Amino acid sequence: MLTGVMGMNQIGIIGGIAAGGETLVDQVARLERPADLTDTSSDVEKMAYAKWVKANKIANLIIRSSIDPIMRGGIAERGTAKELLDVIKKQFEGSVKGRQYCNLSQLLSLKYDSSGNVRSHILKISKLVLTLKELGLTIDDTLMVHLAVWSLPQSFEMFQVHYQNQEKTWEMNELIAALVSEEERHKKGKAKLAHLTTSMKHLSINSQGKKKFKNQVTVTMAMVMNPPMMKPMKTGYEEPQEQLHRIRITLSSKSVKNLEKVCADLVNGAKSKLLKVKGPVRMPTKVLKITTRKSPCGEGTNTFDRFELRIHKRIIDLVSSSEVVKQITSITIEPGVEVEVTIADP
Give the model confidence (pLDDT) of 68-106 as tens digits.
776 777 777 777 888 888 887 777 666 778 888 888 999
Q: What is the CATH number of domain 199-344?
A: 3.30.70.600
The structural domains of the chain, with segments of one domain joined by +, span 5-97, 110-188, 199-344
- For residue 308, the tally of other CB atoms under 10 A from its CB is 8
Q: Return d(Cα 275, Cα 266) in angstroms, integer.
A: 11
Amino acid at position 250, single letter = T
Convert 99-117 to b/e letters by CB count within 10 Å (16 or more is b): bbeebbeebeebebeeeee
Q: What is the pLDDT, as a whole number, of residue 79?
A: 79
pLDDT mean over 291-306: 59
3-state secondary structure of 298: coil
Mean pLDDT value across residues 190-215: 38
Report which secondary-structure segment, H or E, holds 324: helix 322-328
Burial of 213 (0-12, 13-18, 19+ CB in 10 A): middle
Q: Which of 187, 184, 218, 185 is nearest to 200 (CA)?
A: 218
Is the pLDDT reported for residue 122 higher than 90?
Answer: yes
User: pLDDT tens-digit profile of 130-144?
Assistant: 999 988 889 999 999
Q: End-to-end distance of the chain based on CA atoms, in angstroms? A: 63
Q: Kindly give the residue spans of alpha helices, DSSP state H, lying in 189-293.
A: 256-272
